[in-house]
Chain A
Amino acid sequence: MSVLEVRGLSVDYGTLRAVHDVDLTLERGEVLGLAGESGSGKSTLAYAMTRLLPPPGVIRSGTVRYKGFDLLSLAPEQLRTLRWNDIAIVFQGAMNALNPVASVATQLLDVFRAHRPSMPRAARLARCRELLHLVGISPDRLDSYPHQLSGGMRQRVMIAMALALEPEIVIMDEPTTALDVVMQRQILEQMMELRAALGFSVVFITHDISLLVEFSDRIAIMYSGRVVEEAPAQSLYRAARHPYATGLLGSFPALRGPRRPLRGIPGSPPDLRHVPSGCPFHPRCASAMDVCTARTPVLAPVDQHRSVACWLEHENRGAT
């Protein structure tokens, strides 16, 4: 059963299209990985879903279905109540995500103040302590200010904050990028334990494919504002079908499983100002054909669990 359904979402930055007619489904309890180089639109997509994209971002089309609502059609006040209650976000770069002049307690309590106005103060404080305990931080850190915490601790505080209202969905945007490898793993493993215990769904955004493969159930790969392949993590890792997905997976060393030779992708990441005609990946693609320069392939299922947007696949299946 799906908790979040994105259909036909397009986002513009001024005159540039950053996200192109994207369809995406988040199933209950799953971890959906979003992968792609910087500029591929993965963060834009995630922020647009909750209408948090800063100016000059504008949503041009699409729906985001959640519990029977379309998030894109809600009045600001309705959307505000839904935020954090149902969809929480763990932001990238924990350094700046916390208000530097407010204590950890204030920032946690703010959430209850906004969403649980009738909750007594003592209960709110008790809940804050419980949350910090949950992510492995001593509750006496409540009175600390962000600059008094280490990077890892700040990220844990963010996670505790995200879980404060027991949301249905947690979006994690590069949650561990600023941290060292050991800390990354610790925090992600903890997050997955919490997910198992609390049962929320996760949209996990990172450019680190090896982390993604390890922690996601399903992965959608984005290129130039489009989803080019979507499949269960393990089968994608074993055999990607889109040439870009193959290249992306080949450019990272595997943390577990058999060793594979490392390859990169020739050429440079997509530039929104000069999107090639047809399939945007064709200038960098080794298998490009004539049709690729002329027409853009759409994302279509190739088997029960996998969708690919590539003319190679369409030909294999005899479609045009």
Chain B
Amino acid sequence: MNAKTRAGLALLGFFGLIAVVGPWIAPYDPSAMGPDLLQPPSGAHWFGTTMTGQDVFSQVLVGTRGVLVVGLVAGVLATVLSIVIGVSAGFLGGAADELLSALSNIFLVVPALPLIIIVASFLPDSGDLLIAVVISLTAWAWGARVLRAQTLSLRNRDYVLAARATGERTWRLIVFEVLPNLTAVIASGFVGTVIFAVLLEITLSFIGVASISNWNWGTVLFWAQSNQALSQGAWWWFVPAGLCIAFLGTALALVNFGIDEYANPRLRSAGRGKVGFTPVERS
């Protein structure tokens, strides 16, 4: 594990901790209005206050849980979907493969944001879990595509053919012979989906499609934007939440680099000097 991956995991652990204890350590009720209106950061309000005197720091702390829960739930659902569809397509082949591949390609090409906006606005209630489900429905296709390709190349390896020849059942073959070899691909797909889901959820909250009664970083930005925090120079209202998103995204991406380098050794071997001219270092 290299420094990049370790840094990513550490950041991720930090956000995970906040997600668990955030609501307890928050100094104020995030929705409670106070007497200090639109104050810049101070000892009493680390991230300043909103137009109605709410504490931005508490909002960010409390909102972490919603972000991570939606990200994880959507990530898990989408990964399960991508495994089921991708691995079956690759393993079954033939017409089933054609059909499932076409399905994932359609989902890949159709732009997710407008579709989700429509679905979410038709839904009577758009709470966190429902949003997570909707996101996962649009996020599985990339993973399915990668897994299908990997499964295809695994399917004809000797040990799978051997297991097949001994009359193993298909599902046992998939679970015990194929899946363990896809771990890195699945893990990388999962992390990628979580990034996607987190960004999408925050976006939906920001434009006001998802329920704004649940606190998350996107909701903070929604209120900042609808109260014209920008033109009033209240930078503290939208900077912390945005930085949190960027750092969470970076942490997840760094973890994914680690997985990629594990799966693709060419990315890992650190090269020095120019390619094509082996260095001569006489000792």
Chain A contacts with B in 24-70, Cβ cutoff 8 A? 47-48, 51-61
A79 within 8 A of B: yes
A76 within 8 A of B: yes
Task: Give every chain B residue within 8 A of A57 (Cβ-Cβ).
Answer: 278
Task: Give every chain B residue within 8 A of A47 (Cβ-Cβ).
Answer: 278
B283 pairs with A56, CB closer than 8 A: no
Task: Give every chain B residue within 8 A of A54 (Cβ-Cβ).
Answer: 271, 275, 278
Of B273, B277, B280, the most chain A CB neighbours within 10 A belong to B280
Closest CB of chain A to B212's CB: distance in Å? Answer: 51
A165 within 8 A of B: no
B169 within 8 A of A: no
Chain B contacts with A in 43-67, Cβ cutoff 8 A? none
How many chain B residues sit at the interface, stated as a range, is: 10 to 19
A191 within 8 A of B: no
B280 pairs with A59, CB closer than 8 A: yes
B280 pairs with A72, CB closer than 8 A: yes
Chain B contacts with A in 89-130, Cβ cutoff 8 A? none
A-B contact count (CB 8 A): 41
Task: Give every chain B residue within 8 A of A61 (Cβ-Cβ).
Answer: 282-283
CA distance A312 to B281 in the complex (A): 35
B280 pairs with A55, CB closer than 8 A: no
Closest CB of chain B to A121's CB: distance in Å? Answer: 27
A55 pairs with B273, CB closer than 8 A: yes
B274 within 8 A of A: yes
B276 within 8 A of A: yes
Task: Give every chain B residue within 8 A of A60 (Cβ-Cβ).
Answer: 281-283
B283 pairs with A55, CB closer than 8 A: no
CA distance A51 to B274 in the complex (A): 11
Chain B contacts with A in 259-283, Cβ cutoff 8 A? 269-283
A55 pairs with B282, CB closer than 8 A: no
Closest CB of chain B to A291's CB: distance in Å? Answer: 28
A51 pairs with B278, CB closer than 8 A: yes
Quick one: which of A51, A52, A56 contacts B280, CB cutoff 8 A?
A51
B274 pairs with A58, CB closer than 8 A: no
CA distance A310 to B9 in the complex (A): 53
CA distance A56 to B269 in the complex (A): 7
Closest CB of chain B to A87's CB: distance in Å? Answer: 14
Task: Give every chain A residue within 8 A of B270 (Cβ-Cβ).
Answer: 55-56
A59 pairs with B271, CB closer than 8 A: no
Of B278, B279, B281, B283, the most chain A CB neighbours within 10 A belong to B278
Quick one: which of B269, B277, B281 contacts A79, CB cutoff 8 A?
B277
Name B279's closest neighbour in chain A (CB-CB). A58
CA distance A48 to B276 in the complex (A): 11
CA distance A53 to B272 in the complex (A): 12
Quick one: which of B269, B276, B281, B282 contacts A52, CB cutoff 8 A?
B276
Chain B contacts with A in 163-201, Cβ cutoff 8 A? none
Closest CB of chain B to A308's CB: distance in Å? Answer: 28
Chain B contacts with A in 226-283, Cβ cutoff 8 A? 269-283
Task: Give every chain B residue within 8 A of A72 (Cβ-Cβ).
Answer: 280
Closest CB of chain A to B29's CB: distance in Å? Answer: 57
Closest CB of chain B to A250's CB: distance in Å? Answer: 30
Contact with B along A239-258 (1 / 0, CB 8 A): 00000000000000000000
CA distance A48 to B269 in the complex (A): 18
Quick one: which of B269, B277, B282 contacts A76, CB cutoff 8 A?
B277
CA distance A47 to B272 in the complex (A): 17
Closest CB of chain A to B159's CB: distance in Å? Answer: 22
Name B283's closest neighbour in chain A (CB-CB). A60
CA distance A9 to B43 in the complex (A): 67
Closest CB of chain A to B118's CB: distance in Å? Answer: 41
Contact with B along A71-83 (1 / 0, CB 8 A): 0110010010000
Closest CB of chain B to A191's CB: distance in Å? Answer: 25
CA distance A60 to B280 in the complex (A): 6
Quick one: which of B272, B274, B276, B279 contacts A59, CB cutoff 8 A?
B279
Task: Give every chain B residue within 8 A of A53 (Cβ-Cβ).
Answer: 278
A55 pairs with B269, CB closer than 8 A: yes
Closest CB of chain A to B283's CB: distance in Å? Answer: 6
Closest CB of chain B to A88's CB: distance in Å? Answer: 15
A-B contact pairs, 10 of them (CB 8 A): A54-B278, A55-B271, A55-B272, A55-B273, A58-B281, A60-B283, A61-B283, A72-B280, A76-B274, A79-B277
Add 12 more A-B contacts to A52-B278, A54-B278 (CB < 8 A): A48-B278, A51-B277, A51-B280, A54-B271, A54-B275, A55-B273, A55-B275, A56-B269, A57-B278, A58-B279, A58-B281, A59-B281
The 8 tightest CB contacts between A and B, nearest first, are A55-B271, A53-B278, A51-B278, A59-B280, A72-B280, A76-B277, A58-B279, A57-B278
